[in-house]
Amino acid sequence: MIKKVGVLGAGQMGSGIAQVLAQRETEVYLYDIAEAQLSKARAGIAKNLERQVQKGQLDAAAVDQVLGLIRTTRSLSDLAGCDLAIEAVTEKESLKLEIFRQLDETLKKEAILASNTSSIPITRIAAVTRRPDRVIGMHFMNPVPVMKLVEVIRGLATSEETFQAISHLVTRLDKEMAVSADYPGFIVNRILIPMINEAAFALFEGIATVEDIDKAMKLGTNQPMGPLTLADFIGLDTCLAIMEVLYQGFKDPKYRPCPLLVKMVEAGYLGKKSGRGFYNYA
């Protein structure tokens, strides 16, 4: 049974994963290279838990118990005794590969190594380790405490034992699992990101305004938010990175990133996190 989990990356995804694990009585080591990010993550988790208390979804006495199960660290060696490590850093392949090399050296040989990657093939990540049978994809959705889905991706060498262990963990976290073959983008982003890219093309080609594109898709297809709003929420740099993985992985022109999306990322218009994307948040 997985009792102790290391989470690498204390951003929005990593802190959300740490929270849901701790709320299911799992000991968590939340790792990041920046002390300020770890402090921000802990404060954010506490705020989320208090919000659940106010909504009647969590007993007030449980807040301290959950926070007590989350230890923050800047030392990778603190994760050595973990049964599972979940990498949730920036969607940059070179960074992820280096982290998996380090995890392979640091964690006990029977530990499972998982990636929260939204598009990079798990087989490629597993190949840099000496335990490819114990490497798997766990793609949580954002925001993690709210969204029910976890995409589980088996690499070419992922063992049935590893898959079953992660399947049981997903159930324990009160999430729903969708299993994907190991191809770029998996299920969600192979469908979602090209839709966002096509919305950017619609804007680029002058078909409609940002507002009308979002209104049409929101009211015409019953989506909770329009694709350009969603792109701003995800981060335009992340959307572009995934489109590039799809384009490079399939060599199909239908995955060509929209020139407007490329230009906006080059300008630093990354969406809500930078204050400006398809919309202005200043």
Residues that are catalytic: 118, 139, 151, 189
Could you tell me if 193 and 243 are in contact, meaning their C-beta atoms sit under 8 angstroms apart? yes
Closest C-alpha among 86, 81, 83, 89 to residue 11: 89
Q: List Cβ neighbours of 160 (8 Å cut-off, separation of 6 or more).
A: none
* Integer Cα distance of 131 and 140 in angstroms: 23
Q: What angle do CA 48, 3, 75 make, to 5 degrees?
A: 75
Tell me the C-alpha to C-alpha distance, in Å, between residue 76 and each of 31, 245, 259. 7, 28, 39
- Structure-token match 């530990």, residue found: 111
* Integer Cα distance of 93 and 159 in angstroms: 23
What is the 3-class SS of 121-162, one letter each residue?
CHHHHHCCCCCHHHEEEEEECCCCCCCCEEEEEECCCCCHHH
